[in-house]
Structure 1
């Protein structure tokens, strides 16, 4: 279930579900306008016509908010929606104030800060008196108020859940991009420190060999020694380059630990990363990498986890990772090929 909610498909379908719920409730309102006692075909037709006018505006509010996107000209579209719904109150039957649920939800989604809650509470409070003035029985007034609250609350809950999923996915993408950039910087610094210095040494020896070519024949032995040393350094540099390229094909242990700590912190879990002063190996094998990711995924899906400590201890056999969260410790052994 946790994997489903974190999948890209769930993120794409969440705004659609919020819009579907927001569209279903007004259709039920139209059905009540035709069938509820005290209503007739005339009130039903008015309800249908007005719903056709305001519903696209309401669904537009929900669609933008469910994707975490600011709605352009949201205040104007809300004002138009409010005018349509409130103006139809005397014409669309005694159950029409149930449509205030959609207007209240749009107020929270579109209007800024305190004003949104003021408008929301005003609409919820006004729904029952408006229906009573239109002939709704007294015993049905509490049900109508509860209906407005539950209808608007259901829409807002789905919208907030969808927006949270979208923000979580965006945060994960940013973290992934940051991890890639960090890994690129690490590789660049490593190449500059190792192969860069080796190539500069080769260039210097090549320049000396070129100078020796201009010397008298008596110094040919020195030239041969210089060329031989140049060839040895070239082969050694080439072997080191091949070894490092093989190492770069494996994921970085430090990058994996940093990404795990960042993901847990972004989820509200206070995370501490403890690394030895002597440093840790460069790479991590696929098996412990998968185990570390599985542990992080479990912590992200668990409820009540407030703190986590990831400790790396270096031994002669490699590195032992200890992930401690709320008194429970998991160990992951990382067998490495070398130390930095």
Structure 2
């Protein structure tokens, strides 16, 4: 909570020091009931649990002649019918972003505190769940953009992350990332970039320090009015207890039509994991499709697969369907179902599913 108070105080001081020209307040409150079977994806299902979830969100955004700022406050409050399967938890989040622009450059400062459940973050990133615990991430960073020429831009970025858990089964760590990017605009719809970076991961409870040095080359382009493409490739070198070199790559293809939206994403990357407090290679694959049935009703489906290697070997897949319906100007209902599958070291596998129904209220004023 001290981090939340710090972020709010910084936002209040910086916001009061600027002459606000435009301001907007947004607020939303979602509530849902979810039935989850085998939430930890164990080999033998222990049964199911009913979760009642509330998620209030508030954001204040202001813009001046040269500056912009955004303060966001949110929380996820979960109450379960069986705390032996899933604990009752409150996950607060707070973030503040402040930016200032000059004629040919701009600066952005950001701070963010977020909490979440490891059964969701671990599964999404590495395809397996080791333990149901609280994951807290505190991030501070700065980014500076400079127009070098009419078509060339330079971006410098520095980020400091601290991740800790409320269980001794996972290791707390701190990661410092320094990166730069040179972007060249070939045309209004096509750009290329080169991005070298260096990061250092330090376990907070002792252990070997890991470093990662990497470079990427990529492109972003609009193929047509409906289609867009992002792609990158490169190489990383991880040094820790041993040195490993590997290839990185990814592609994202999106389609946006009058009623139909779809996307395909694949990536091979390196990311830190708290189970071993080191960098681990992972692969992500995702497909999503959405269709607007009427002006206020839409249906969506998605499939994703994640895989990790090394000592954290695991593979997971998720299939989900959802239906959203706008009941009124500020009210939206949603229903959904999903299935999760996971397999890990030793051939152990687990399967779980969830069914949910919810209601969302949203309000915005200003700007």
Q: Under a length normalisation based on structure 1, what TM-score does the superposition of the two structures give?
A: 0.19
Q: TM-score, normalised by structure 2?
A: 0.18
Name whichever structure is richer in strand by fraction.
2
Whichever of the two has the greater Rg, that structure is: 1
1 or 2 for the larger relative contact order (CA 8 Å, sep ≥6)? 2
